Amino acid sequence: MPIYSRMRVRKRILTEYIEAALDRLIKDPRIPSLPLGEKYLVISDFHLGDRSKADNFRKNEEIALKMLKYYSKNGYYLIINGDFEELWQFSSETVRLSYSKAFRMIKCLFGDKIIRIYGNHDDKAPWQGLCPGIFLRDKRGEKVPFLVTHGHLGSRESDLYSWFSRIFVRLFRLIEPFCLQIGIIKAPVFKRVSFYHDFEHIHDQWARKRGYRIICGHSHRAAFASKSYFEQLKRNLTNEKNVIQKVYILCALLKEIIRNRHIKFNSPGQEGFYFNCGCGLYRNGITALEICPDSISLVKWEKKGTRVYNKMLLK
């Protein structure tokens, strides 16, 4: 079978697995439903570890605590959308002891306003009320409901055969500090990327068919309303009047094309259905989604301040 045909078969099977898992999720009567109209902060993929060189979160802890204090003070609920702890590499006891101050502060700040969704790396966390997803619904039915879920359900390496992945990740922990030191692996850089992972397309298409907006984590890449950075640049180029800025945008577009990050969604319509809150592991900060009564925003917290990258009204 040609390589292209094998890839199509693989994507078709993956689509069936993921869509079946999501269909089971929305039919599960145990999934909690919260009202749109409150204020929510959605974070994911902090991967808290043991503070060793294999712990990718430790450098962003100060930013995270500053961020959480701000949202607690402003009356937000905290939705942790999976992989808060790195339990494929470390034991739960080790993580809790290493970040005991952070856990105490989160509990003190948010109290009973914490909702925890499990991901593939923390589904065994000893936390009461862990669930695979939640709904955010408008009581009057005027707004499209949100499904918040980590994004790993139905995938082979992260869900169906995750036992094998856990063995590999546990072994990789032994050489990860060396790989980080010599630069084989690096912390991700936030770039509002395009969507070249199949599961991102699959989640977007499923949400369009079922009439939901879907918020995921898992990929460690922030996304907003199913739009890529490439598409955002094209819109900016059309609207930009300054010649120097146009040249700058053209250079950025060429860079995205060279790096094969210009893939676009094929789905019709301009309204976005897929969101991703990113992660707490970026080389220069943390991304999150803010959901307010009338809008949703993609924000990034850094040591030098906070920036709102995208904002959309909830109609």
Closest CA to 296 of 281, 279, 276, 266: 276
pLDDT confidence of residue 195: 46
- 287-304 in b/e burial notation, b at 16+ Cβ within 10 A? bbbbbbeeebebbbbeee
Please give the model's pTM, rounded to 2 decimal places.
Answer: 0.81
Percentage of the chain lying above the pLDDT 70 cut: 77
The residue among 194, 255, 252 whose CA lies nearest residue 226 is 194
- 1, 288, 271, 35: which is closest to 141 by C-alpha? 35
Rounded Cα–Cα distance for residues 302 and 315 (Å) = 30
What are the structure tokens assigned to 224, written together?
A: 């907003």
pLDDT of 80: 97
Give the neighbor-by-neighbor strand order of the sheet with 286-291: 114-117, 77-81, 40-43, 286-291, 295-302, 305-313
Asked whether the predicted pLDDT for residue 25 surpasses 60, the reply is yes
Residue 115 confidence (pLDDT) above 70: yes
Mean pLDDT of the residues in the chain: 82
Residue 222: pLDDT over 80? yes
Q: Is the pLDDT of residue 149 over 70?
A: yes
Question: What is the rounded distance in angstroms from the CA atom of residue 124 to the CA atom of residue 166?
Answer: 12
Say what the pLDDT of residue 105 is: 95
**What's the distance, CA 113 to chain centroid?**
20
* Of the candidates 105, 219, 207, the residue with the CA atom closest to the CA atom of residue 148: 207
Cα(124)–Cα(78) distance, rounded to whole angstroms? 20
Burial-class residue 140 by CB neighbours within 10 Å (0-12, 13-18, 19+). Answer: exposed
Retrieve residue 128's tokens: 């009461």
Higher pLDDT, 189 or 274: 274
pLDDT band at 193 (very low <50, low <70, confident <90, very high): very low
Q: What is the CA radius of gyration of the chain?
A: 19
Which residue stretches of the chain are H helix?
Answer: 3-27, 61-73, 92-98, 100-110, 162-172, 176-182, 198-210, 229-239, 243-258
Q: Give the C-alpha distances (Å, rounded to integers) separating 91 from 48, 83, 118.
A: 11, 14, 16
Tell me the mean pLDDT in the region 211-217: 95
> Residue 104: pLDDT band by 50, 70, 90 thresholds?
very high
Identify the pLDDT of residue 238.
80
Question: CB neighbours (10 Å) of residue 124?
Answer: 14
Averaged pLDDT for residues 211-238: 81
pLDDT tens readout for residues 234-293: 777 887 888 888 888 888 778 767 655 555 554 445 567 899 999 999 888 999 999 999
pLDDT in tens, 59-89: 999 999 999 999 999 999 999 999 999 998 8
Site of tokens 């570890």: 49
Stronger pLDDT, 185 or 311, i.e. the higher one: 311
How confident is the model at residue 154, as a pLDDT? 78
The string of pLDDT tens digits covering residues 153-163 is 877 665 555 54
pLDDT at 170: 55
pLDDT for residue 141: 75
Position 4 scores a pLDDT of 45
Higher-confidence residue of 133 and 172: namely: 133
Q: Contact at 8 Å (CB) between 193 and 221?
A: yes
